[in-house]
Chain A
Amino acid sequence: MKKFRNLQCRECGRRFPAEAVYVCEYCFGPLEVIYDYGSIDISRDSILEGPLSLWRYKPLLPVHTDSPVTIGEGLTPLLRAGNLEKELGLKELYIKNDSVNPTFSFKDRVVTVAVSRARELGFDTVACASTGNLACSVAAYGKKAGLKTVVFIPADLEKGKVLGAGIYQPRLVGVRGDYDQVNRLCGELAGTFKWGFVNVNLRPYYAEGSKTLGFEVAEQLGFRAPRQVVVPMASGSLLTKIYKGLKEFEELGIIEEAGTRFFGAQASGADPIAEAVRKDEDIIRPVKVKTIAKSLAIGNPADGYYAWDVIKKSGGYAASVTDDEIVEGIKLLASTEGVFTETAGGVTVGVLKKLVENGKIDPELSVVIYITGNGLKTQEAVEKSVSKIEEIEPSLKSFKESCPWAV
């Protein structure tokens, strides 16, 4: 018995064979993998005995192969954030540090699944539209899989991300336009070339990889769900999939139901989901994006409605932060917990701070914040915010003269 056979539209419920399909052909709604949970065998023991990567959750991931394309992604640290707890007045705060994946972002979770599925479906080329992190990941996993690899990015991307993708020697196409335009172009290309675009025609499989951020945090907390989570949002997919991951664990009896509250973090200037939550409207109005958090800069989010729904029904909230607050968030996390995150992490920390200050987050209950990318990729954002070099001669005298703070 196969654990999945079909994809289903989240809007109209129509079913499609589990192939590479580009949104619901009927209403353009997003497609989701439908599992036969009755045939899935997974338990705390089977997880603990599994590989030291996210493939320990393979029964709940949409691939059949026994040899997925892996570079050791997942099982990233869950850190107790004692200093930041004190700073913000929280009782129990954890950082899920996903900036230490093989290509330094959470995208390795979705790409390991998508590229494994691409190979299973017989594609000889994998591709993606990316704001940077996905580019790095697809380049690495495409090469590891021995597939031809084509990566589309906005031509003006941060240097760290261009380098982080280019080093794997993919075809790197810089599109003169913003990410929305790059993504739309790839939608066109997916209809023309027989390539596996991980976040276009392989998106139903790809997105499932994000569930592992729910599974892992629960496992690392001793098989219990956190009471509150703060998740960065671009398309909104990650937040909905963390929710789905926790729900699956609850329904399979791996954890007890905890009623986790979901808090969404966006950057001002790219915050259509947070805006809808703030206004308590169930309409998500597309915006023209402007933010230094390029990895979150989506004006017309594909999973926005579902993210909104999870936030509302879980009793959570959403907020957004300005460019300055993003930089402050990056500095705060680095200087209290020793974790250097990219702009998206700055958004998450900034929003955490805001939601604690305005009372939306309960300081007595556990909180997990998801840090999804590495600071070395967006150096431009913090160039002016790092310690200045105090240059001295190589002598004790010069040190004492130049550095009077040394006691």
Chain B
Amino acid sequence: MIKVKIPQPLRNLTDGKDEVSLEGNEIGEILLELEKKYPGIKERLRDEEGKLRRFINIFVNGDDIRHLEGEATPVEERDEVSILPAIAGG
């Protein structure tokens, strides 16, 4: 099982849970599971063409998947996946 951290704006779709555990070998599979388990989340993460929205950022152990292999990025037991908004200055 892979742990996925759910950001605050999406928690109304995950029964308030800030972390869920899902099965999958790569990010795309994990997201598919997430979308199946929590209806409504797909529209939040993806645009009409099914692409991840440009302000949605997905990290594996702190690395943006755009630095890795995108949705084909492999994940294994104990990896931590998080979904996060972009960073504002400060």
Contacts and interface: CB of A to CB of B under 8 A. Distances in A.
Given A11-B55, A28-B55, A286-B66, A302 B8 contact: no
Contact of A26 (B7, B11, B44): B44
Contacts, number: 97
Interface stretch (B20-28, B31-39, B56-64): B56-64
A299 B18 CA distance: 25
A28 B8 contact: no
A360 interface: no
A237 B86 CA distance: 12
A302 B53 contact: no
Contacts of A24: 9, 55
Interface residues of A, number: 43
Contacts of B54: 11, 305
Contact of A199 (B9, B55, B64, B89): B89
A300 B89 contact: no
Interface string A304-324: 110000000000000000000
Interface stretch (A66-74, A183-191, A242-250, A332-340): A183-191
Contacts of B66: 285-286
A370 B13 CA distance: 43
Contact of B88 (A288, A299, A303, A305): A303
Contacts of B56: 27-28
Interface in B31-84: 44, 53-57, 62, 64, 66-67, 82, 84
Given A190-B8, A288-B67, A235 B55 contact: no
B90 A187 contact: no
Given A27-B53, A28-B53, A188 B8 contact: yes
B86 A301 contact: yes
Nearest to B53: A27
A305 B53 CA distance: 13
5 contacts: A22-B8, A25-B9, A130-B90, A184-B82, A187-B85
Interface of A: 11, 22-30, 128-131, 134, 179-181, 183-184, 187-188, 190-191, 199-200, 203, 207, 234-235, 237-238, 285-286, 288, 298-305
